[in-house]
Each structure stands twice: as C-alpha cells, then as structure tokens.
Amino acid sequence: MSQATAPASSVLEAEVVIVGAGPCGLFQVFELGLLGIGAHIVDSLAHPGGQCAELYPEKPIYDIPALPVCGAQELVDRLMQQIRPFNPRFHLGQEVTELARREDGRFTLRTATGTTFNTGAVVIAAGVGSFQPRRIGLPGAEAFEGEHIRYRVRDAHLLHGKRLVVFGGGDSALDWAIELAPKAASLALVHRRPDFRGAPASVLKMRELVEAGRMRHVEGTPHALNVEGGEFRGVTVKGPDGSLIGLESDHLLVFFGLHPKLGPIAEWGLELEKKALKVDTGKFQTSVPGIHAVGDINTYPGKKKLILSGFHEAALAAFAIQHHLYPQKKQFLQYTTTSPLMQKRLGVTES
C-alpha cells in the first residue's frame, strides 16, 4: 500500500477518491477493488482507522458479523490487511477542503496541503467530520500556531536542542515528553492534575525522567503567552493554588485531544440534514450524482450509525459508482467464492 505525497502543483488522476479512512472508508476500498476500481483515500489524521483508532483502539467490539469479539484497532488492522491486494494510495494527515464538479462531469478535490485530484467519483466516508486538535485557547495564540505552538509533531528533529513545554495528560503528551526530553535543551510537561490518563508504563517512565532531572513536571493550566516586541518567549502557567509560573520556551506542544468537525464538507453544496449528508438507499448517492456517502456521515430513513451498516452501504455504493464511471459495462453479481476474476483481483489465484 503506498503512502503518497504529491507536489502541490501536480494533479493526480483517480477513478475514485474516498474522503475518510475510518472503517467504512477502508471497506469502500475493498468493495471497489472487487469490481476492479482503484481508489485513493485521504484522511486528516496521520493514521487510518477513524473513530476506532482515535477514540477507542483498545475497546472490544462485539457486533461485527462472524467476529464474536474484535478489538477496535484490530478491526482496523484486519481491514488494512483485507484491502492490501487493491493497493490503495493513502494520503494521510491531509484534510480535504475543496470539492467541485468540473465541466466534464468529473470532480476536482483538493486537500489543505495542496494535493489536487481529478477524479471520476467521490465517496465521502467522513464519519463525524475531520478530527481537529483542541487549541490552547490563549489570547494571541493564533499568530504563533504552526511554528511556536504545535498541535502535532511532524518532524521531531526540528525540536532537538530547543526549550519545550508539552501540555496534556494523555498518551500523546507523555509519549512526546518521553521521546523529546533527552534531546531537548529543556522540557516541562504541564498537566492540570497530578494523575495522568496515559499508559501506566509511560507515566512511570516520565516520573523516572523527572527524578533524573531530564524534565520537569508542572501541575497547572495555560494562563498567558509571554511575548516581547512580537517575539515568542514562552508561556505562563497557573498552578492549582493560583500561583503563576513562567516557562521560557521556544515551542509549546499542545496535546489536549481532538474533536470532530464537519468543517468544509458543509460547504460543498450537498444536501444536508442535521449535519449529515442525505443519501438514497439504493446507491448511497448524495444530492450530486457521482458523489456518494457511506458510514456515519450519511442519513436516510432508519439510519443507524453502526460499522456494519457502513459496510453494507459501501457495497451498494461501489456498484453505483461502477455504473456511474462505466455506464456501458454490464453489471453482474459475482461471488468471491466462485469468481475467477474477483479471485485474481484478490491475488488468491493465478487464473
């Protein structure tokens, strides 16, 4: 499976682009692949799996047909394995911001990082929307976001030798504090409570680093940015007793979790009902032919936001997309158990 990063200027030609790599977007790759249709898949998160991977990776799921129990991350791993024969191209860490119909009936789709597609069809599998980092919420923060205030770490090397303040009490905050403490000029981990939500082993490791004098642990919440003559100098933290603690720093790494946002999808001119995309139940097509929606993002009479509903929707959407792209082609229902063509596509037979 390839991870693609296209130069901003190039346009990628695609049969189908899937917006969202949650369980339903991943299964959409499979259903399209069985019909011989290739897909690109884009997600604003840095990894596939949507809510399963982001919100409850360790929890068991009990209502996936024929899997009496399956961990949420395990389900994602199994889906990734299942779609491997179709070699989808992944574009991760990129929010899809623009979708427009072209004059020739195809679609232009663009991501926030400049990847542009010219695609025959689109499947929106965007769940509850793209996950956005919860921001630090201090006055004047916006001007420093991206450089001095970061919500994700893309290139850890840029932070080596710098004075860092890490905010948060979950796994991301702990993992980055542990990873960067030995390489930073200084590092303070700020969390509002003495207890941490992250893995016990990580909490232990962090405490060892504190004891060894490699990093500080400060109990408190962000109070104000320290800026002098427009230059970023650090942050002031308010302790539980109301005391103010100034922390000189080059970068703040803020890991306050993620929240979903429908965001740009609401502006693509598609019919919405209660923040969900209206679809028909034969093709799972939105109000625009060629743009389909599966999984939690869609709505229709009787809709249930369950993974298995999304899987069914993806199967029907794939047939509809095949007809949209290749209207002359006769459609047959083939079984994977007996179809030599499907088995060839799956890579399980030579014929």
Ligand X SMILES: Cc1cc2nc3c(=O)[nH]c(=O)nc-3n(C[C@H](O)[C@H](O)[C@H](O)COP(=O)(O)OP(=O)(O)OC[C@H]3O[C@@H](n4cnc5c(N)ncnc54)[C@H](O)[C@@H]3O)c2cc1C
Residues binding ligand X (CB under 6 A): 19-25, 42-45, 50-52, 55-56, 61, 63, 95-96, 125-131, 263-265, 295-296, 305-308, 310
Cα–Cα nearest to 39, from 292, 267, 269: 292
In which region does residue 171 sit, left (phi positive, over 0), alpha (psi from -120 to 50) or beta (all else)? alpha
Nearest CB to ligand X, comparing residues 126 and 136: 126
Q: Measured from the CB of residue 37, what is the shortest distance to ligand X in angstroms?
A: 19
Cβ closest to ligand X, residue 234 vs residue 264: 264
Joined together, the tokens standing for residue 303 give: 């809709």
- Output 47 or 344, the one with its CB closest to ligand X: 47
Q: From the CB of 310, what's the least distance to ligand X, in Å?
A: 5
Nearer to ligand X, 93 or 220 (CB): 93
Amino acid at 204: L
- Over its C-alpha atoms, the chain yields an Rg (Å, rounded) of 23
- Least Å distance, CB 214 to ligand X, is 34
CA-to-CA distance for 329 and 343, rounded, in angstroms?
20
Give the residue at shortest CB distance from ligand X.
127
Q: How far is the CB of 64 from ligand X (least distance, A)?
A: 7
Q: Specify the residue, 67 or 204, whose C-beta has the smaller distance to ligand X.
A: 67
Cβ proximity to ligand X: between 4 and 55 the closer is 55
Q: Minimal distance in Å, beta carbon 14 to ligand X?
A: 15
Mark residue 250 as left, alpha or beta (left: phi above 0; alpha: psi -120 to 50; beta: remaining): alpha
CA atoms 190, 195, 197, 199: torsion sign:
positive
Which pairs count as long-range contacts for 342-349, CB under 8 Å and 24+ apart, including other chains?
342/34, 345/33, 345/34, 345/36, 345/85, 345/86, 346/34, 346/85, 347/85
Q: Which is nearer to ligand X, 127 or 220 (CB)?
A: 127
CA distances from 201 to 80, 172, 184, 253 (A): 28, 13, 22, 21
| Paired tokens of 1 | 């499976």
Contact by Cβ (8 Å): 126, 297: yes
For 283, the token pair is 């093709």
Residue 151 C-beta: closest distance to ligand X, Å: 14
CB 101, min distance to ligand X, A: 17
- Token pair recorded at residue 266: 């609401």
Do 18 and 50 contact (CB within 8 A), yes or no? no
C-beta of 5: minimal distance to ligand X in Å?
15
Say whether 18 sits in a helix, a strand or coil: strand
- Specify the residue, 56 or 185, whose C-beta has the smaller distance to ligand X: 56
The DSSP output letter for 25 is H
